[in-house]
Structure 1
Amino acid sequence: MAPIDSAETQGDPTGATTRADRMRRKASRTLVPVAVAGVAAATIGLVPALADSGDPDLPKITAQQLVEKIAASDTQRLSGTVKITTDLGIPSLGGLVGSLGQGAGVSGSAAPEDRLTELASGTHTLKVAADGPEKQRLTILGSSSEYSLIHDTDEVWAHESGSDEVFHAKTGGGGHEESRRGAAAEGTPRQFADQALKAVGDTTSVTVDGTVRVAGRDAYQLLIEPKQSGSTIGSVRIAVDAENGVPLRFTLSPSSGGKAAVNVGFSQVDFGKPAASVFEFTPPKGAKVTEAGDAAGQGAAGKEGGPLAGLLPGGLAGLEGTDGAEGGAAGGVKTVGEGWTTILRAEAPGGADLASAKGSSSLLDAFGDKATGKFGSGTVFSTRLVNALVTDQGKVYVGAVTRDVLVRAADADH
């Protein structure tokens, strides 16, 4: 781990230790994938729980010690309510997901990859529970129904109340194991915190920023900020339980200001053992059960990557060298830049044919802004966090960076 900037709550410089680096790597977990084409839309965000009034008076702690506290936390039992929202400046995906599902012939599917994408936008409330690595449950509370994803030992079940569709998977490897991991970790502040800690490096500042109460618990606030200019991410704040080191709230704010873009936090949490009945499930009478092996795209909820893949430093590295889209370059994709200004470069479907097909009144122009440079011309598509430049020559540059950084990357690649 690179040096951490704040030694104590009030902030003195301190160095990192080899042991702490090992613990940070241990804490880092890779979960839900974010595909290149959908990096903005698939970024799952959660709304923070309201902090209790009054900041607790806690013993001083260094940033290094707080990172170690998160890494060393072995709490495996909890239950509670998570308040969720995201504001990336894109439309709600709920209706889009349903439309795509019907077009693909999977209307009413209970498979996790078909339903958890809905968390990528809007406001949601989740009920979560865990009893060790073999029993977890997540329930998305809707206005008229509930969608539950349950992992119990060697089985994963998913079902929406009132529906006759049930998804089932046996764990033990491949896509089935990925479904289990998705059920185990989706929707908790820990998931986001672990991904954020992977960003700690030479381009990152880490400090302790006071204390707070979250869901009735005393917590320290860990502040992670880019040292580089050009990132659309302004800061990441993690409220860490002062007693057990469990992340209670995660807040990602854009560099442009305004309200947080990605948040997740407990409004209520209990670290006692949940009742065994919480993890039990029997398909309703007459329900259609879809086995994981029969569901297209199974395991999307648990593949390697994480919900912040592509946003935080290192998140795009795992995609480098993968095959490009059909019609793209044989060399696939690669990353350019470093740290918080890392950009993914790929070939758009159709490649150079895009130039001849694209006119001034094209669909691309209608939804984006024109950009020019040494690379030629192209269109920039923007959200609050992720920007993408599609050149008329068929190259695509995507990252949690500003428009200017994208243009400079395209110029350098010309």
Structure 2
Amino acid sequence: MAANTNTSRKAARYAVPVAVAGVAAATVAMVPAFANAGGPDLPKVTAQQLIEKIAASDVQQLSGTAKISTDLGLPKLATGLLGGGGVAGGSANPEDKVAQLANGTHTFRVAADGPDRQKLTFLDGKDEYSLIHNGADVWGYDSKSNEVFHEKNADAGAGHEEAGRLAASPQQLAQDVLKAAGPTTDVTVGDTAQVAGRDAYQLVLKPKQSGSTVGSVQIAVDAKNGVPLRVQLLSSQGGKPIVEAGFTKVDFAKPSADTFVFNAPKGAKVTEGGSEAGKAGRDEHWKALDSFPGFGGLMGGANGKGGDVKVLGEGWATIARIDSGAGKGLKDLENSANDKNAPKEAKQFLNSLGDKVSGSFGGGRVLSTRLVNALITDDGKVYVGAVTKDALVKAADADK
């Protein structure tokens, strides 16, 4: 899949959706998992040769089955807001599915025929969610709610953008990772592996810097055609992958044309992309957080004005400082949450912000996940990145 046009980047690419890919690639490069022992015996290659093999791959047709597992270690409240582990159910808008993929394990069927035709069908029990890109049309269909999302002339539409975000393939993700890798990254070739019955090399990217929550990124590359078959993101603390996205079965033959044909089922509710109804559905997800006492002021609100952003550090140790201009925002939130008339959700959210910390910057709380951590200070600043709690406190102290 060598197409590098705007159309192919925006298209519903043909394999593994990774909801956190944008976050991870924006703050770090990404990760290798533990190499499989006893892999196939393949000719030796250098890291540069393997990167060139990925870049030279011209595969644009395939079908098969893939799986994504995401374990960010999110607080229970955040997991609930993301809709748990299911994808089917609710709006058919692709944008609404992105956040839900940040939790749990999802299996899906995939098919692609060039940059203009892709289909993904997510399988969550008896319910299904399908995303189809066919020329100028993007369709989303949720079987549980019997709702359809449609965008015509999608190359220029927001719905097309969301389709691209939702359906990033292992190849697209691998390209993003390699693009983000720079002088702060060690790139090597790991042990060989078998993925979806295919012999594969494994390209390993590892941070040179200390303080990152990312241990490494491992990309399994088809030894024959150079297609990335799997991407694994591992924590510097060990354990199972934070994200593992890859094929379980793959066939590089051309899918039949009717694979990408979609007709809305009788009685289904159809929402056209860009409509007010679609926008209202997207905003609904964040109203719960925005309504917590003090939270809207602390973070700028879901619909409010955000604060100034400053980037600290580089590479894997990059930290974003967000100055919300909220003054004593965190203190206000704590006082509001502890009020006897405050809803229980406000206290639950406060507790989800994690442990209190202090330093020369003052005081605050750290919200921790396995990948991204955030320090929220008493004076309304937020330090966030794929770095450890200690690295955040150190950055806040140095930023005074």
How far apart, in 2, do the equivalents of 1:33 and 1:124 lie?
Answer: 10
**2:70 paired residue number:** 86
Contact 1:79 1:271 in 2 (8 A): yes
Within 5 Å, give how 1:3-402 maps onto structure 2. 54-90=38-74, 95-97=80-82, 108-170=90-152, 171-182=154-165, 185-186=167-168, 188-294=169-275, 295-296=278-279, 325=300, 332-348=308-324, 350-355=326-331, 358-359=334-335, 363=347, 366-367=351-352, 368-402=354-388
How far apart, in 2, do the equivalents of 1:58 and 1:404 lie?
Answer: 42
Contact 2:150 2:272 in 1 (8 A): yes
Distance 1:210 1:297, change over 3 A: farther
Structure 1 residue 173: deviation in Å? 0.7
Say which is worse superposed, 269-278 or 328-337, in terms of deviation: 328-337
Distance 1:357 1:81, change over 3 A: closer
How far apart, in 2, do the equivalents of 1:334 and 1:123 lie?
Answer: 34
Distance 1:332 1:30, change over 3 A: farther
Q: Secondary structure at the match of 1:55?
A: coil
Distance 1:30 1:340, change over 3 A: farther
**2:295 paired residue number:** none
Question: 1:338 corresponds to which letter in structure 2?
Answer: E
Task: State yes or no: 1:410 paired with 2:396.
Answer: yes
Alpha-carbon RMSD across the aligned residues, in angstroms, is 3.6
- Cα offsets for 1:262-285 (capped at 9, x unmatched): 111111001110111110110011
How far apart, in 2, do the equivalents of 1:354 and 1:142 lie?
Answer: 38
Q: Secondary structure at the match of 1:272?
A: coil
Contact 1:51 1:215 in 2 (8 A): no
Structure 1 residue 344: deviation in Å? 0.8
Aligned residues: 351
Structure 2 stretches lacking a partner, 5+ long: 12-16, 284-298, 339-346
Q: Secondary structure at the match of 2:155?
A: coil
- Cα offsets for 1:19-50 (capped at 9, x unmatched): xxxx9x99x96899989xx959xx9xxxx999
Contact 1:139 1:149 in 2 (8 A): yes
Q: Secondary structure at the match of 1:172?
A: helix
Percent of residue pairs identical: 57
Structure 1 residue 413: deviation in Å? 1.3
How far apart, in 1, do the equivalents of 2:320 and 2:327 lie?
Answer: 16
How far apart, in 2, do the equivalents of 1:263 and 1:330 lie?
Answer: 32
How far apart, in 2, do the equivalents of 1:181 and 1:192 lie?
Answer: 11
- Cα offsets for 1:214-272 (capped at 9, x unmatched): 11111101010000000000011000001111000111110011111111111100111
- Please, what TM-score do these two structures have when normalized by structure 1? 0.76
How far apart, in 2, do the equivalents of 1:34 and 1:285 lie?
Answer: 31
Structure 1 residue 351: deviation in Å? 3.4
Question: 2:327 corresponds to which letter in structure 1?
Answer: G
Structure 1 residue 349: deviation in Å? 6.9
Structure 1 residue 161: deviation in Å? 2.2
How far apart, in 1, do the equivalents of 2:306 and 2:195 lie?
Answer: 50
Q: Secondary structure at the match of 1:198?
A: helix
Structure 1 residue 391: deviation in Å? 0.3
Structure 1 stretches lacking a partner, 5+ long: 1-22, 100-106, 301-323
Distance 1:126 1:351, change over 3 A: farther
- Please, what TM-score do these two structures have when normalized by structure 2? 0.78
Contact 1:377 1:392 in 2 (8 A): yes
How far apart, in 2, do the equivalents of 1:52 and 1:223 lie?
Answer: 13
Question: 2:58 corresponds to which letter in structure 1?
Answer: D
How far apart, in 1, do the equivalents of 2:389 and 2:184 lie?
Answer: 20
How far apart, in 2, do the equivalents of 1:179 and 1:156 lie?
Answer: 10
Distance 1:212 1:400, change over 3 A: same
Distance 1:328 1:349, change over 3 A: farther
How far apart, in 1, do the equivalents of 2:46 and 2:62 lie?
Answer: 27
Contact 1:30 1:195 in 2 (8 A): no
Contact 2:10 2:160 in 1 (8 A): no
